[in-house]
Amino acid sequence: MSPPAESVFVCATPRSGSTLFCEALSATGVAGRPAEYFEALRGTDLPRQPQEYFDELTPELEALLPRFDQQPAPELARSRTYGEYLAWARREGTTPNGVFSAKLMWGYLGEFADRLREVGYAGDSDLDVLAGAFPRPRYIRVVRLGKVEQAVSLWTAIQTQSWRDGETFTDADREPVFHRAAIDHLVRRLTEQEDRWGTLFAAQGIAPLTIVYEELVEHWEVTMRRALRYIGAADADGIELPAPPLRRQSNGRSQSWVERFAGAAALSRSTW
Ligand SMILES: Nc1ncnc2c1ncn2[C@@H]1O[C@H](COP(=O)(O)OS(=O)(=O)O)[C@@H](OP(=O)(O)O)[C@H]1O
Ligand SMILES: OC[C@H]1O[C@H](O[C@H]2O[C@H](CO)[C@@H](O)[C@H](O)[C@H]2O)[C@H](O)[C@@H](O)[C@@H]1O
């Protein structure tokens, strides 16, 4: 296959609905295949582990966080250099029409850009580095407005290691536990990461397309077509769209945790 002629980066924070959006883009066959090719952290070559979502680990929190024996992704492990891995990811993420796409979480953008610098791509801003390594980049942000819902979703996935409906990456059959401080930390962290994406784009004078998770779910076709038009897909309004390729994971427990967290937050405000 010839090298990609254009690139799309789906810029997100964890549990924002990014996989739903990315897999739907993939299914169109004209928008690249956006997966998390670049999520492995440099120190470990692994995706962020449960403990690495927190700055301080109390014994109580530590006891809730699973530890498991994860190996680096096979393609990364067998690549002799990061440049070789990059070549694999470029091939894997590109559809026959020459569009490459990938999902990027704020939590590893900096590390990914540093890896690119190490293999020779220059640039002060991480986005300059990306623009050196990938042709004609365009950016789509996926943003979830309900930050408490998002943090509850992340706290649940960190504990259970079930990142999509019906799938778990460990044998641990864990019943997740409510932990107000952990959810509070994740709300703050997700909000900060969202702000940082915004600041980075503004500093570079880039206006990405923003896909709001809640709108995507409620207005599936309109929102997906907006993205396809932004990408510049030929016949964006005529392309056959898949039904949502993933099922929602949150359940009654998630909802009750959101209410419990919000109630506790309101109570602590009223006692100021
Ligand atoms: N079809 C459909 N409808 C509604 N919501 C859906 C759907 N598919 C996925 N999702 C929800 O998306 C949330 C996961 O977001 P991400 O894919 O960004 O998470 S990840 O960090 O990449 O694992 C996660 O949110 P929660 O439901 O709050 O857990 C998923 O359930
Ligand atoms: O199915 C959703 C995503 O699942 C994986 O990523 C998630 O699990 C990782 C832990 O293994 C976690 O670090 C990452 O933040 C989560 O998004 C998978 O790697 C993704 O490609 C996939 O979209």
Instruction: Say if CB 148 and CB 187 are below 8 A apart.
Output: yes
* Complex confidence, ipTM: 0.93
For residue 15, give the ligand 2 atom closest to its CA: 17
Residue 272 has pLDDT above 60, yes or no: no
Ligand index nearest the alpha carbon of residue 49: 2
36 among known catalytic residues: yes
How many residues are there in the chain?
Answer: 272
Render pLDDT for 62-93 as a digit per residue (tens, 0 to 9): 999 999 899 999 999 999 999 999 999 999 99
What angle is formed at CA 112 by the lines to CA 108 and CA 118, rounded to 5 degrees? 150
Render pLDDT for 104-149 as a digit per residue (tens, 0 to 9): 999 999 999 999 999 999 999 999 999 999 999 999 999 999 999 9
Residue 225 has pLDDT above 80, yes or no: yes
Ligand 1 touching residue 247 (CB < 6 A):
yes
Considering the candidates 6, 23, 36, 56, report the single residue annotated as catalytic: 36
Ligand 1 touching residue 244 (CB < 6 A):
yes
Render pLDDT for 21-46 as a digit per residue (tens, 0 to 9): 999 999 999 999 999 999 999 999 99
Residue 172 has pLDDT above 70, yes or no: no
Task: Spell out the domains of the chain, with CATH numbers in brackets.
Answer: 6-147+194-247 (3.40.50.300)
The mean predicted confidence, pLDDT, of the chain is 94
Cα–ligand 1 centroid distance for 165 (angstroms): 9
Q: Which of 25, 39, 69 to mutate to test the pocket of ligand 2 (most atoms within 8 A of CB)?
A: 39
The pTM for the full model equals 0.95
Query: Three-state SS string across 225-259, please?
Result: HHHHHHHCCCCCCCCCCCCCCCCCCCCHHHHHHHH
* Separation CA 187–CA 251 (nearest Å): 19
